[in-house]
Chain A
Amino acid sequence: MPNEVRVEIARDEDMLPARAHGRALALELGFSRTDATLIATAISEIARNIIVHVGKGEITMKPVQEESRYGLVVTATDSGPGIADLEAALEHGYASRGGLGLGLPGARRLMDDFDVQSERGTGTTITMTKWRVRDELELLRERRRLLDEKHHGEQRPDGAGP
């Protein structure tokens, strides 16, 4: 598994490395080029959200692995004023400042899971994830590897798991 990457967002140009890291991690996790582009675009949106509304924050990108899928979890945190009307902010066309009405709803549509936690006065955390289902062959190889390890490690006569 590739390591988690953290990018500080304070200026316009910080969006570019955030996007590039997101894309690279996605490709490393086996996402398609198209999905990697969707992820990079969503990162761009939430990075701009930080720059325009708060000025400063950070984005972390963390690979996760589950039984049947890989995921890239992108988290944007800031300690700004918080989003006053969360529901409105997630609606298409909402623009509070800077005329950006598409940022958050756009990012939400580009990713699979999307969650915003915001508290007035303490800041906002956006967590969004894109998943890639692992294909049959990948799963079979993984199971085989685990079985092999088990055999070598414990020498169980039946070799059967629970």
Chain B
Amino acid sequence: MSVAILRQGDALIAAIQSDLTDAQVLALRDDLAERVGRHRLQAVIVDVSALDVIDSFVARSLRSMAITTRLRGAETLVVGIQPDVAIAMAHFDLNLKPLRTAKDLDEALVLLGERVEEDGDAE
């Protein structure tokens, strides 16, 4: 799958590398939900800066990712929504709660309470 997954402390960073098919988006959601428990994560950061289209399905999948990981005990933050993509998403009149966003990875890590610590446990 074209998603790079990195571990940073008790956060997991999923950096989407290219446009995903619907099936890949759902697989990512399921994979992240599973990893939250396996790695005892506090947070999942999904970097979508490589996506040049986020349609209503992907938007709702991101929201569903946030809800799923929250139910599993971790926060999800989406980072890097491109300006044009944000404008397109605004047309959908979509309720994205409880999706949290940040401008980039650095800000996301700050928002998550700077619980960045090297634990050498990355995969």
Contact = CB atoms under 8 A, between A and B. Distances in A.
A binds B: yes
Given A37-B52, A37-B84, A37-B85, A19 B57 contact: no
A34 to B, nearest CB: 5
Contact of B55 (A13, A36, A92, A106): A106
Across the A-B interface, the 4 shortest Cβ-Cβ residue pairs: A37-B84, A102-B56, A44-B55, A41-B88
Interface residues of B, number: 21
Interface residues of A, number: 23
Interface of B: 19, 21-23, 52-57, 60, 82-85, 87-88, 91-94
B53 A37 contact: yes
B68 to A, nearest CB: 15
Nearest to B23: A12
Listed residue (A12, A13, A23, A102) with the most chain B CB atoms within 10 angstroms of its CB: A102
Given A13-B21, A16-B21, A103 B52 contact: no
Contacts of B22: 12, 15, 48
Contacts of B85: 37, 41
A45 interface: yes
Nearest to A93: B93
Contact of A34 (B23, B56, B87): B87
Contact of A41 (B21, B54, B93, B94): B54
B88 A45 contact: no
Interface in A6-29: 12-13, 15-16, 19, 23
Contacts of B82: 37
A94 to B, nearest CB: 12
Contacts of A12: 21-23
B23 A41 contact: no
13 contacts: A23-B52, A33-B84, A34-B84, A34-B88, A37-B53, A37-B88, A38-B84, A38-B87, A40-B52, A41-B88, A44-B57, A48-B57, A103-B57
Contacts of A128: none
A15 B91 contact: no
A126 interface: no
Contacts of A34: 83-84, 87-88
Given A41-B54, A44-B55, A100-B56, A110 B21 contact: no
Contacts of A106: 55-56, 91-92
A102 B88 contact: no
